[in-house]
């Protein structure tokens, strides 16, 4: 499927040379221990480096080691994850830290199978930790590497398809060098992030351009093959912003599902205007109702169309002052573990409030 063995050997060599001269060397988790490598790998799933760096820095400042993370509450962990998205990653990270504290006495395990057994860690992530933290000879296959290998090896087909993914894993293992594995793995990541990008790849700067199948056959923009199109489900919800002075009502979501364990606004689903029913059922006296601009929040598997309704209430109703609910000053609410669309709405509300904190 691929070029002669001599070329296979030089692919890794060229990437290593390129990485040392042109790759990224100032990422805050580079050269760090397994805990920080693990944390960075989890944060980088589905998220770009520029977005991750400030979250990573704030996270390690509060939880500098596994013991600190294991001792934290899930609420504290999710507060630090708030806005990063894919919150199951934060919950799994916390679960894994507690498991490491109990089973491995707080020391990050070194064996690949032990790492793979931790919550939230798959084959590629476990291999990346082994290669970058322990310098083991392990191949990885994250999104960037899939794109690099699909182009270099000329592999057509959607990379998430099981058969195509198996071919990519085969190539990843075949091209793996015997030495400088950590540098090589970083080179693959750097190549995919800075040169072999999804759009506008910089082929003129690529160290393996001469035998890249996609470049040689003018298929760089056709590979990797796009995901088969399908209809994205759409849902409709009304978000209620119940305001009493500067305080706003938040409700904690169940641990499972979208936004599990986060603090959210009361949500009315099915696209129906059930605001009047909610107000009556909870004995809420509304002094003013304001319809805010609707917007759409896109998840991986569906789109959520959100209609926000601001309700000013002169007195906090007793019916909604219960377990799982809390009234917080808007500034305090913004520091809580809240999802991105809720944060956007709270910032919008805060902007319209007086600058003082008086109720």
* Given 41, 75, 111, 165, the catalytic residue: 41
User: 295 - beta bridge partners?
Assistant: 306
Quick check: is 41 catalytic? Answer: yes
Which amino acids are annotated catalytic?
41
């Amino acid at each position: 499927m691929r070029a002669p063995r001599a070329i296979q050997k030089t692919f890794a060599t060229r990437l290593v040379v390129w990485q040392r001269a042109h790759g990224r060397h100032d990422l805050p988790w580079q050269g760090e221990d397994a805990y920080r490598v693990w944390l960075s790998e989890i944060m980088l799933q589905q998220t770009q480096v520029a977005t991750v760096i400030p979250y990573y820095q704030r996270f390690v400042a509060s939880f500098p080691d596994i013991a600190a993370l294991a001792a934290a509450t899930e609420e504290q962990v999710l507060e630090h994850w708030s806005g990063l998205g894919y919150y199951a990653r934060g919950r799994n990270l916390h679960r894994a830290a507690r498991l490491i504290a109990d089973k491995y006495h707080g020391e990050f395990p070194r064996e690949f199978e032990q790492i793979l057994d931790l919550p939230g860690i798959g084959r590629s992530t476990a291999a990346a930790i082994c290669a970058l933290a322990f310098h083991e000879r392990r191949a990885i296959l994250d999104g960037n590497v899939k794109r690099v290998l699909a182009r270099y090896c000329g592999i057509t087909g959607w990379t998430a398809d099981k058969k195509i993914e198996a071919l990519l894993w085969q190539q990843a293992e075949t091209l793996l060098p015997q030495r400088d594995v950590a540098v090589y793995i970083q080179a693959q990541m750097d190549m995919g992030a800075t040169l072999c990008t999804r759009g506008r790849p910089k082929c003129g700067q690529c160290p393996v351009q001469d035998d890249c199948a996609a470049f040689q056959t003018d298929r760089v923009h056709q590979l990797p093959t796009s995901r088969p199109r399908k209809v994205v489900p759409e849902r409709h919800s009304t978000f209620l912003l119940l305001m009493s002075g500067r305080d706003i009502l938040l409700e904690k979501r169940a641990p499972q599902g979208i936004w599990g364990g986060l603090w959210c606004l009361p949500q009315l689903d099915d696209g129906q205007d059930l605001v009047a029913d909610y107000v009556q059922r909870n004995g809420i006296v509304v002094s003013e109702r304001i319809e805010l601009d609707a917007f759409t929040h896109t998840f991986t598997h569906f789109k959520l169309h959100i209609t926000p309704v601001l309700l000013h209430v002169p007195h906090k109703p007793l019916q909604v002052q219960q377990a799982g609910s809390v009234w917080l000053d808007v500034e305090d609410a913004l520091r809580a573990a809240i999802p991105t669309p809720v944060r956007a709405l709270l910032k919008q509300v805060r902007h319209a409030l007086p600058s003082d904190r008086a109720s």
